[in-house]
Amino acid sequence: MFKKRGKKPPKKFKKPKGATWIFFSYSTKDIKEFRIKQLAKVLEEFNEFDQVLTWEEKTTDSIIEYKDYYIKNANALVLFCSKNSKISEAVQNEWQSAESTGIPIIPVFKNVNSVPALLRARIGVNFTKNPLSNTIDKLHENLLQNIVK
């Protein structure tokens, strides 16, 4: 299930008017490597973002319905690029869906070769753990420049 850190997602797929949603697309194998939960939590502390949507594997809800709704209603998609995400059909479907609907995509990567070829021309964020604040600052800035209101 997609969820906002610390809050329940809206019932019945309803986005509040004027809300800003950021969709995180990543391979579940990369959660620790990219510090997905920590990044989501920190980004939500910024006033500009209402929800950072991440996937939780334990759900009885339809993943297809959730993804369809949340991607279409996201203001931006943050794509965590790795060798795992390159072979993940779910991740491929997510960024391609965002691309086809005009949602800004911001690649986050450790190696630029893990970014899909069609997205390499976009300004992305080179992920660094030490200090993680550099990644957070660059991602925040990039989101503010590219977000669709």
Angle at which helix 36-44 crosses helix 132-146, to 10 degrees, equals 60
Whether the link from the prior residue into 131 is cis, omega within 30° of 0, is yes
Tens of pLDDT along the chain (149 residues) come to 444 444 444 455 578 888 899 999 999 999 999 999 999 999 999 989 998 988 765 455 667 777 778 888 899 999 999 999 999 999 999 999 999 999 999 999 999 999 999 999 998 999 998 889 999 999 999 999 998 65
Q: Where are the domains of the chain?
A: 18-146
The two beta strands, 125-126 and 2-3, are: unpaired
Q: pTM for this one?
A: 0.86
Q: Which residues of 38-57 are buried (b: 16+ CB within 10 A; e: fewer)?
A: ebbebbbeeeebbbbbbbee
Contact call for residues 139 and 124 (beta carbons, < 8 A): no
Radius of gyration of the chain (CA): 14
User: For domain 18-146, which CATH number applies: 1.10.3720.10, 3.40.50.10140, 3.10.400.10, 3.40.50.720?
Assistant: 3.40.50.10140
